[in-house]
A and B are shown apart, each in its own frame.
Chain A
């Protein structure tokens, strides 16, 4: 099974900060990497697909990069609505779409 490791597990940041979250796969997954945002009491929301594709309706301050085993989600200027937990997920396996452990972004 492909394991996904996110870092950090949590971070504190201020509105306007640039925030970077990393995700590492236990084997190469090409660009089969997706990012989700989840707010308390809500279902996850797809932000980025295929490592860098911006899902429709998602603000352009969100961006993704990487390929192979190392990936990054960047929020260029953190907004109040962005305080949430972020998950990466690999879709390389035909089945078994494992998630990372999550990164909670909190207000400093």
Chain B
């Protein structure tokens, strides 16, 4: 079964750090581009980061650029998001999502999400 499972969400103080993980199974992980998408409580979806299959190309939304770092370990079928200098507005449910291998690169597989709460 094709599956993504996120972990690492927690309650953290403003200015703190957290590392999220996404474990992939059921497909050739290295062949797929991956993304992180978040959803603040009661709000819509916000794309925040992208990584190519090889890990050599990354990109970020302006809201997290310079604070978050996306990475992947293809040998371990794992995607990560290192989050530093966390702010209250980073409070959200964080999803990892796989892109289709071909055009138009829609997000066809999603994890169940992991909750990050930034509060003192």
Q: A residues engaging B (CB < 8 A)?
A: 1, 31-34, 36, 38, 43-46, 49-50, 55, 87, 89, 91, 94-102
Which listed residue (B61, B103, B112) contacts A43, Cβ 8 A? B112
The answer to whether B110 touches A49 (Cβ under 8 A) is no
Work out how many contacts link A and B, with CB atoms closer than 8 A: 67
Which residues in chain B, 88-118, are within 8 Å of chain A measured between CB atoms?
Answer: 95, 99-100, 103-108, 110-113
Which listed residue (B103, B107, B111, B112) contacts A46, Cβ 8 A? B107
Which listed residue (B44, B45, B57, B104) contacts A31, Cβ 8 A? B104
Is residue B68 contacting chain A, with contact meaning CB distance below 8 A?
Answer: no
Evaluate whether A87 and B45 lie within 8 angstroms (CB atoms) in the complex, with A43-B113, A95-B59, A97-B50 already known. yes
Evaluate whether A49 and B106 lie within 8 angstroms (CB atoms) in the complex, with A43-B112, A43-B113, A97-B50 already known. yes
Which residues in chain B, 31-82, are within 8 Å of chain A measured between CB atoms?
Answer: 35, 37, 44-47, 50, 57, 59, 61-62
Subset of 19 A-B contacts with CB under 8 Å: A1-B62, A32-B104, A38-B45, A43-B110, A43-B112, A43-B113, A44-B37, A44-B95, A45-B110, A87-B44, A89-B106, A94-B59, A95-B57, A96-B50, A96-B61, A97-B35, A99-B37, A99-B46, A102-B45
